[in-house]
Amino acid sequence: MPNFKKYSYDQTAMVVVNFKDQLRPNTFEFTLHHLIEDHINLSAFHEKYKNDGGGRTAYDPAILLKVILFAYYKGVHSSRDIQWECENNIIFKALSCDTVPHWTSIASFISSYPDAIEAVFEEILLVCEEQGLLGHELIAIDGCKMSSNAAKEHSGTLDELEAKQYKIQRQIKQCMKEHKRLDKRKPRERERKEQLEQSIDTLAQHAKRIQNFLKTAAPRADSNS
């Protein structure tokens, strides 16, 4: 028997990472981070905070916006699941600087600033689409292409941009609607466990079917013969 190194996925490890290094250039998360940090005005989110004279500190809206939009990008729409991602997913940890917002804080933020959140997400997604960063994950704006130079007022460009904007607005509203719907449900740990077991069972069935097919399929003819 070959003597391989032992390994186990069912373990916890302390890993030293630099959060900024996890946000690699030409990725959605890199663009999301730098747009929110350097280019987008977030003053609309600051008006309701009244803790400058003391009291408990609040999560920075920049952090919440990053983890929520990245969650939507990955197809995650519930506040509890976003909290889980911040606890376990290295990219979420990098975007949140490992602050792990509680799910109730995420849900409250979504409910408190719907219009401002939609405006920020729309601006970010328009930039990301122009850079070709959408369509590779679960946020995809199908059937509408944007010119690489959208500022150029030649025929059709503004119409294309408006069509793109409409599709992005619709996508954001759908994500936020689904987010609020899922947050109303009570957590069901047993249901999650059953879903995990079902996913593993389905995967095993598919793998077995493919393996049986490969064993029985006739070999392909040599194209050079």
Distance CA 19, CA 180 (A): 29
Reported pTM: 0.72
- Convert the pLDDT of each residue in 40-78 to its tens digit: 999 899 887 777 777 778 899 999 999 999 999 998 999
For the beta carbon of residue 126, count every other beta carbon within 10 angstroms.
19
Lowest mean pLDDT, pick from 5-19, 108-122, 195-209: 195-209
Residues 155-164: pLDDT tens digits?
Answer: 346 677 778 8
Q: Residue 137: pLDDT band by 50, 70, 90 thresholds?
A: low
Around 223, how many Cα atoms within 13 Å sit in the side-chain half-sphere? 0
Distance CA(222)–CA(203), nearest Å, equals 32
Query: Number of helices (H) and strands (E), helices first, in the chain?
Result: 9, 0
- Work out the end-to-end distance of the chain between its first and last CA atoms, rounded to an integer number of angstroms: 38
Residue-averaged pLDDT of the chain: 81
Q: How far is CA 101 from CA 16, 74, 158, in A?
A: 21, 18, 39
Contact call for residues 65 and 36 (beta carbons, < 8 A): yes
